[in-house]
Chain A
Amino acid sequence: MHGSGIPIWFFIGVLLVIYGAMILGYGVFEWTTGAYASGVQLTNLHTPVWWGGVLAALGFFYVIKFRPGNSSK
């Protein structure tokens, strides 16, 4: 957003970090315990692990780049 205040990208970053961490954490739990949800396909790809990681990494990038008070954004 133009002007002062917290940019929307920061809010998005925070949400992606939270979601990414939760999904990644559950994915690691699934992988280590083998307790996959029934009926879900392609569990061998460990989708929650890499997708959660992608969301968290993207979120971190936005949080750091658009954090309040960061003048370089």
Chain B
Amino acid sequence: MFSFAPASLADGLFGSWPTLLALSAEPLAHLRTLDILIITIYFAMVLWIGFYLKGRSNTGEEFFMAGREMTAWIAGLSFVSANLGSLELMGWAGSAYQYGILATHWYWIGAIPAMLFLGLVMMPFYYVCKTHSVPGYLDLRYGGGARSVAAISFAAEMILMSGVNMFAMAVVMKVVLGWDITFSIFVSSIAVAIYVGLGGLRSAIFNEVLQFVLIWGGALLVPILGLIQTGGVAGLKTQIMANMQSMTGVRSDSYFHMWRDTGSFAANPMGVHWTGIVFGLGFVISFGYWTTDFLVVQRVLAAHNLRAARMAPIIGSFFKMAVPFIVILPGLLGLVLLQNPDGSRRQLVGEDVVAACAVSSSSGQVEDGPACSAAMAKSTLPAAYQQKVLSGAPGSELHSYNQALPLMMVRYLGPGLLGLGITALIAGFMSGMAGNVSAFSTVWTYDIYKPLINKKGSDSHYVLVGRLSILIGVAVSIGAACLVMHAHGIMDYVQALFSIFVAPLLATILFGMFWTRATKLAGFLGLLFGIIFSASLFMWVKLVPAALANVALSPDAKPMAENVFRALWAFLFSAIVIVLVSLLTKPRPVAELDGLVYGATKLPKEEPAPFYKKEWVWATLAVIIFAGLNIIFW
């Protein structure tokens, strides 16, 4: 999901694409016939799956919930895959290039505790109450007001995010392959609309599992070959430390420490503090996303029984812990392996620098020399190379951080393998978009259309509405993509939607699930005022950039810190509203909260199973590995 992509991608790519697209630039890679064939076969396969599953998506339960018959493995892989978009792959590889192994926090503490909590603690309530969606749970717990606020905000977020993702991917395809932007948007979005529209959630989940395998098959070679070339991890570390000392103001080995230098904003390359990582990212953002975002929770709700539903996120946590191997490691390898045509070490720069130094297609020279010079002066590019760029010398083109992963692919992957790598990027994009539209379809049908527009439709009527909503959703997404193409200023606002909604929603659900005293009015007001508060903080920093120091509590804070601290304050604000209003209003009788609230619910007894099939065994193993990794890379 795009909202989980790093700020560097959001701040960079979208701020500069008008320049990037307007001017000519040589694509990073050229595909051969074999590569095109591989990509074509992929599209044929996903469409075949959609047509094959059409006959098994006739009822509402089949279309929206995949018949609730997914195994723990399929639900777990789909759960992780829906989040593993190509923009995340490229964005976090770029972040690893910029910030080192600190970027791994978004994969470990930013995911694992929340995934285990979802499986062990929250899943029984989602599953036992048989809700179709997260807003549906709010309806059962707090009533229609909270449900409508959550459903409308979620549906709008999904469809806008889908459009943003669509356009962002088209930009990536333009920059990497030189593909026409309209072609990329229409081909990929129509393919997603067909296979999800035909097969519903089952088709989306099937393709997400397929895409997960392709992502690994296409991306795994880069770190393997990179490590061979650097002489292993020890060689990589030695070379990075030799390079970094001259480039950054932080200690040269900071790139290899996740926690050691987070006691001060200024001591680490990312400009974050451990309190923000632990409480903002590790708790509010991570728990908000992995436990309340319906995009991912929907995959687990499709499991065939409660044990599978609990195991799915736990299985997913192991794969999530492994993802940095194909994302973070290529970024680190890029620091020492990427080379200019003359053999010197290639330094990547921000998208703003690439845009400022764009070359005119007619003259072959930098369009705006003074702007380019000023932009490069803020970078760590050597002075001699800056001169080469300004003079338009052959082979002196600039590449951005976000191109670290494609550049590494081009370095190692020849014909066929490159097609597989590009297929992995396309697959990542399509799995994210399929997640957006399938979640949108369910929330639109069950939480907006059914309660607010037509309460008395038949099951087949709602399936039809669901199918149409996918087509309409994709069409609106294409419209949103066109909108941001022509008014890129709205991108920042769309990007912020997730971080604005997630914290108040988390507070509302946690209090609803674990506090019998939380009342209907408190849930509604906590969610509504929390969203308003969070949006206000966003606008404050947007209009007064210096306010970042207030929001993140330090003048040394960088934009990456803003999201985590804003989420933390919004969560606390919502929590206070919920507690205060609950204490002033009358709660529902505890008997009405069976199946919804911890302490008022008798959970069904699970079938006896050998110890190796029990969720707590695997969760314990996940915790041990998670703790071990954080200690190793302390």
Task: Give chain B residues whose Cβ lies under 8 Å from the Cβ of A43.
Answer: 414
B229: which of A1, A12, A41 is its contact (CB, 8 Å)? Answer: A41
Is the pair B71, A47 in contact by a Cβ cutoff of 8 Å?
no
Q: How far is the CA of A51 from the CA of B416 in the complex (A)?
A: 11
Spell out A's residues near B (CB within 8 Å): 1-3, 5-6, 8, 11-12, 14-16, 18-19, 22-23, 26-27, 30, 36-37, 39-43, 45, 47-48, 51-52, 55
Q: Which 9 A-B pairs have the closest CB atoms?
A: A37-B414, A23-B416, A2-B69, A2-B304, A40-B414, A26-B416, A3-B69, A8-B206, A8-B209
B411 touches A47 (CB 8 A): no
Contact A27 B217 (CB under 8 A): no
Q: Is the CB of B42 within 8 A of A45?
A: no
**0 or 1 for each of B381-422: is its CB under 8 Å from A? (1 = yes):** 000000000000000000000000000001111111100100
Task: Give me 6 other A-B pairs in contact (C-beta within 8 A), A19-B38, A23-B417, A48-B414 excluded.
Answer: A3-B67, A18-B41, A40-B414, A41-B229, A41-B412, A47-B225
B414 CB contacts on chain A under 8 angstroms: 26, 30, 36-37, 40, 43, 47-48
B-chain residues with CB within 8 Å of residue A19 when the two chains form the complex = 38, 41, 217, 420
A40 touches B411 (CB 8 A): yes
Please name the residue on chain A nearest to B411 by beta carbon. Answer: A41
| B335 CB within 8 Å of chain A | no
A52 CB contacts on chain B under 8 angstroms: 416
Q: Is the CB of B412 within 8 A of A1?
A: no
Interface pair B225/A11, CB less than 8 Å apart:
no
Q: Is the interface of B mostly helix, strand, loop or mixed?
A: helix
B121 on the A face (CB < 8 A) = no
What chain B residues lie within 8 Å of A16 (beta carbons)? 213, 217
The interface residues of chain B lying within 8 Å CB-to-CB of A11 are 45, 48-49, 206, 210
Give Cα distance in the complex from A18 to B38, angstroms.
9
Residue ID in chain B nearest A37 by CB atoms: B414
CA distance A42 to B67 in the complex (A): 48
A30 to B209 alpha-carbon distance, docked (Å): 32
Q: A8-B206, A40-B414 are in contact. Are A23 and B74 (CB under 8 A)?
A: no
Interface contact B41-A48, CB-CB below 8 Å: no
Complex CA–CA separation, A12 to B420 (angstroms): 14
**Is there an interface contact between A15 and B42, defined as CB atoms closer than 8 Å?**
yes
Q: Could you tell me the distance between the alpha carbons of A3 and B71 in the complex, rounded to whole angstroms?
A: 10
Docked CA distance A45–B45 (Å): 31
Which of the residues B67, B410, B417 comes within 8 Å of A51, measured between beta carbons? B417
Closest residue of chain B to A15 (Cβ to Cβ) is B45
Cα distance A27–B32 in the bound complex, in angstroms: 14
- B56 proximity list for chain A (CB < 8 A): 5
Q: Is the CB of B210 within 8 A of A26?
A: no
In chain B between 192 and 245, which residues have their CB closer than 8 angstroms to a CB of chain A? 202, 206, 209-210, 213-214, 217, 221, 225, 228-229
The reply on B23 being an interface residue by CB < 8 A is: no
Chain B residues within 8 Å of chain A by Cβ, number: 37
Per-residue A-contact encoding for B408-443, CB less than 8 Å = 1, 0 else: 001111111100100000000000000000000000
Q: Are A26 and B38 interface neighbours, CB within 8 A?
A: no
A23 to chain B, nearest CB (A): 4
Instruction: Please tell me if the beta carbons of A42 and B413 are within 8 angstroms of each other in the complex.
Output: no
Chain A residues closer than 8 Å to B490, beta-carbon distance: none
Q: Does the CB pair B34–A22 fall under 8 Å?
A: yes
Residues 256-276 (chain B) with a chain A CB within 8 angstroms: none
Picked from A5, A8, A26, the residue with its CB within 8 Å of the CB of B74 is A8
Interface string of B61-72 (1 = CB under 8 A from A): 000000101110
> Do B206 and A39 touch (CB < 8 A)?
no
The 16 sampled A-B contact pairs (Cβ below 8 Å) are: A3-B67, A3-B69, A8-B74, A8-B206, A11-B45, A11-B48, A12-B210, A19-B41, A19-B217, A23-B416, A23-B420, A26-B34, A39-B411, A42-B228, A47-B225, A55-B217
Contact B42 A51 (CB under 8 A): no
Q: How far is the CB of A37 from chain B (nearest CB, A)?
A: 4
Interface hub of A3, A18, A51 (most chain B Cβ within 10 A): A51
Contact present for B210 and A15 (CB under 8 Å): yes
**Minimum distance in angstroms from B533 CB to a CB of chain A:** 43
Give every chain B residue within 8 A of A14 (Cβ-Cβ). 45
Contact B70 A47 (CB under 8 A): no
Contacting residues, chain B, for A2 (C-beta < 8 A) = 69-71, 304
Chain A residues whose CB sits within 8 angstroms of the CB of B202 once the complex forms = 1
Give the complex CA separation of A19 and B422 in angstroms: 13
Could you mark each residue 27-59 of chain B with 1 if its beta carbon is under 8 Å from any beta carbon of chain A, else 0? 000001010011001100100110010001000
CB distance from B271 to the nearest CB of A (A): 34
Q: Which residues of B contact A27 (CB under 8 A)?
A: 416
Give the chain A neighbours of B34 by CB distance below 8 A. Answer: 22, 26
Known: A26-B34, A42-B229, A45-B225. A1 touches B71 (CB 8 A): yes
**Quick check: B412 and A40 within 8 Å, CB to CB?**
yes
- How close is B556's CB to chain A, nearest CB, in angstroms? 39
B87 smallest CB distance to A (angstroms): 23
Establish whether residues A22 and B37, one from each chain, have CB atoms under 8 Å apart when the complex forms: yes
**For B71, what are the chain A residues with a Cβ–Cβ distance below 8 Å?**
1-2
Shortest distance from the beta carbon of B584 to any chain A beta carbon, whole Å: 47
Q: Is the CB of A12 within 8 A of B209?
A: yes
* A69 CB to nearest B CB, Å: 15
Chain B residue nearest to A30 in the complex (CB) = B414
**Partner of A45 from B48, B70, B213, B228 at Cβ < 8 Å:** B228
In the assembled complex, the Cα of A51 lies from the Cα of B225 at a distance in Å of: 12
In the complex, how many angstroms separate the beta carbon of A13 from the nearest chain B beta carbon? 10
Task: Indicate whether A1 sits within 8 Å of B225 (C-beta atoms), given known contacts A23-B417, A26-B415.
Answer: no
| Closest CB in chain A relative to B433 CB, distance in Å | 19
Please, which residues of chain B bring their CB within 8 A of the CB of A45?
225, 228
- Residues from chain B with Cβ under 8 Å of A40 in the complex: 411-414
Would you call B217 and A47 a contact (CB within 8 A)? no
Nearest opposing residue in chain A for B220, CB measure: A51
- In the bound assembly, the distance between CA atoms of A52 and B218 in angstroms comes to 11
Name the A residues within 8 Å of B412 (CB-CB). Answer: 40-42, 47
